[in-house]
């Protein structure tokens, strides 16, 4: 298990591979750190992330179609970084950080307030993990 330095007194220990996969997924996603900083405090709806609002809010560098943004956010859910917000009537179109996500965002803020840039190997591994996933019972 890999401990992640966190300012909170209670920090959860995550398997090293899970932390590395989540970090790599974020580095390869189309999002910027301000999105995740806001998600530490509140949920963020897809309408604030996709298209021009995403650029205006500094959540993305380029306008993302809603489907692309949602697919990237769903991948970050699968890696354990995000969760979908739920209200009294079920799932919403909003997303929040998980405890793992909070710990990683705190770490990145301490390290210079930027997400590390992905290299070619990061992109290759992320694509492999994302598109050619093995069932859990095989791993």
Specify the pLDDT at position 87: 80
DSSP one-letter code for 79? T
Average pLDDT of the segment spanning 116-127: 91
Of 139 and 51, the one with more pLDDT: 51
**What are the chain's domains?**
16-118 (1.10.10.10)
Is the pTM above the cut of 0.95? Answer: no
Does residue 3 register a pLDDT over 90? no
> pLDDT digit string (tens) for 52-70?
999 999 999 999 999 999 9
Question: 25 burial class (0-12, 13-18, 19+ CB within 10 angstroms)?
Answer: buried
How many helices (H) and strands (E) the chain has is answered by 7, 3
Q: From the centroid of its chain, how far is CA 69?
A: 11
> pLDDT digit string (tens) for 77-115?
999 999 998 887 877 889 999 999 999 999 888 888 788
Across 43-47, 90-94, 116-120, which has the greatest mean pLDDT?
A: 43-47
Of 12 and 128, the one with more pLDDT: 128
3-state DSSP of 89-108: CEEEEEEEECHHHHHHHHHH
Specify the pLDDT at position 9: 46
Does residue 48 register a pLDDT over 90? yes
């Amino acid at each position: 298990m890999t401990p992640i330095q966190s300012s909170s007194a209670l920090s959860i220990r995550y398997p090293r591979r899970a932390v590395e996969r989540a970090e790599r997924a974020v580095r390869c996603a189309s999002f910027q750190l301000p999105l995740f900083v806001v998600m530490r405090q509140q949920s963020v709806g897809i309408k604030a992330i996709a298209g021009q609002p995403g650029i205006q809010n500094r959540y993305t560098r380029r306008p993302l179609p809603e489907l692309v943004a949602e697919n990237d956010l769903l991948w970050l859910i699968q890696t354990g970084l995000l969760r979908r917000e739920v209200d009294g009537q079920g799932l919403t179109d909003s997303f929040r950080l998980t405890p793992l996500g909070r710990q990683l965002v705190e770490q990145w803020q301490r390290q210079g307030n930027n997400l590390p840039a992905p290299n070619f190997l990061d992109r290759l591994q992320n694509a492999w993990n994302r598109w050619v996933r093995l069932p859990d019972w095989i791993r």
